[in-house]
């Protein structure tokens, strides 16, 4: 067990500072103050953060911290905090660590006994959720799904029986295909697309997955998107169309090997692999 009293340590500290997801007026007074008072700002993209700093006349120096350099950068930042310096960490938009860099630095600070202090502020997922019209409690934040369809299917199969409203992030260029895969695994459900949060072109698209899919087949979207999908009505295993043979063949068409497909169909239908294997290979179980 580790006990941390955030403000009762004289040593250096890590402040996690959320930044606006679109509208600069969402920057809190405390967040501005923290960025100005920190010794160093650890930024996902120093060029992007510099625009924010310029807007608020903040001159604190920056060090980059992103997925490509965290292995060498985290020890450097830990050393600075151990020497007594205060680090403010921020991503390009929203909360650090939420589909953005930051988690590795947090874990390293905790391991070294350095205080980690999170400041409240903008986060796209919850902002979209409370205006979506879908049930806000319980909810499950997932973030970005894998890009490959077979990996999406595997993840979504695990989520299909969730009764929580699910929150996904997605590129406007992939959201149509993603919705089609979700409908394939979940069946048709109510869903909401929110794009351009807090900006002048903020927009909510509400309807069934089928309706959203039809709309996106004719309209393209711009801006980062939040996709919210209602949870299952009952905590039951998802129902899949077709025989075991047809389900296996569908997964093979998506890129899985026959062995992987048989395993997945057995798992999703809660039956033994041998049952699916026999069906796929037309083996009479009585033989």
Give tens-digit pLDDT for 178-201.
Answer: 999 999 999 999 999 999 999 999
pLDDT of residue 137: 94
Q: How far apart are the first and last CA of the chain?
A: 58
Mention the CATH class of domain 13-122.
alpha beta
Handedness of CA 162, 167, 172, 174 (dihedral sign): negative
Chain mean pLDDT for the chain: 90
- Strands 165-170, 139-144: pairing is parallel
Banded model confidence at residue 9, pLDDT cuts 50, 70, 90: low
pLDDT of residue 280: 84
Give tens-digit pLDDT for 12-41.
Answer: 999 999 999 999 999 999 999 999 999 999
Q: How far apart are alpha carbons 226 and 170 in whole angstroms?
A: 6
- Strands 225-229, 87-90: pairing is unpaired
Q: How far apart are alpha carbons 84 and 98 in whole angstroms?
A: 27
The answer, yes or no, to whether residue 239 has pLDDT greater than 70, is no
Tell me: domain 125-229, CATH 3.40.190.10, correct? no
Q: How far apart are alpha carbons 80 and 232 in whole angstroms?
A: 48
Domain boundaries, the chain: 13-122, 125-229, 244-280
The answer to whether 13-122 and 125-229 have equal CATH topology is no
Is the whole-model pTM more than 0.85?
A: no
Q: How far apart are alpha carbons 165 and 116 in whole angstroms?
A: 30
pLDDT of residue 284: 64
């Amino acid at each position: 067990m580790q006990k941390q009293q955030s403000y009762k340590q004289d040593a250096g500290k890590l402040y996690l500072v959320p930044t606006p997801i679109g509208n600069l007026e969402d920057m809190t007074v405390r967040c501005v103050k923290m960025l100005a008072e920190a010794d160093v700002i650890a930024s996902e993209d120093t060029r992007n953060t510099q625009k924010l700093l310029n807007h608020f006349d903040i001159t604190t120096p920056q060090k980059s911290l992103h997925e490509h350099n965290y292995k060498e950068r985290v020890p450097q930042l830990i050393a600075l905090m151990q020497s007594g310096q205060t680090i403010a960490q921020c991503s390009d938009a929203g909360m650090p660590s939420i589909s953005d860099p930051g988690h590795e630095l947090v874990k390293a600070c905790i391991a070294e006994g350095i205080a980690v202090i999170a400041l409240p502020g903008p986060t796209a997922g919850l902002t979209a959720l409370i205006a979506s019209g879908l049930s806000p409690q319980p909810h499950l934040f997932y973030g970005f799904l894998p890009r490959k369809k077979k990996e999406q299917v595997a993840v979504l199969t695990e989520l299909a029986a969730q009764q929580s409203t699910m929150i996904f992030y997605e590129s406007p260029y992939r959201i149509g295909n993603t919705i089609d895969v979700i409908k394939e695994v979940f069946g048709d459900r109510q869903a909401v697309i929110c794009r351009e949060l807090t900006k002048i072109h903020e927009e909510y698209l509400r309807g069934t997955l089928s309706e959203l899919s039809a709309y996106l087949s004719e309209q393209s979207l711009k801006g980062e998107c939040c996709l919210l999908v209602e949870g299952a009505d009952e905590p039951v295993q998802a129902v899949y169309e077709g025989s075991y043979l047809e389900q296996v063949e569908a997964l093979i068409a998506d890129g899985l090997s026959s062995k992987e497909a048989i395993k997945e169909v057995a798992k999703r239908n809660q039956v033994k692999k041998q049952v699916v294997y026999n069906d796929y290979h037309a083996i009479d179980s009585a033989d």
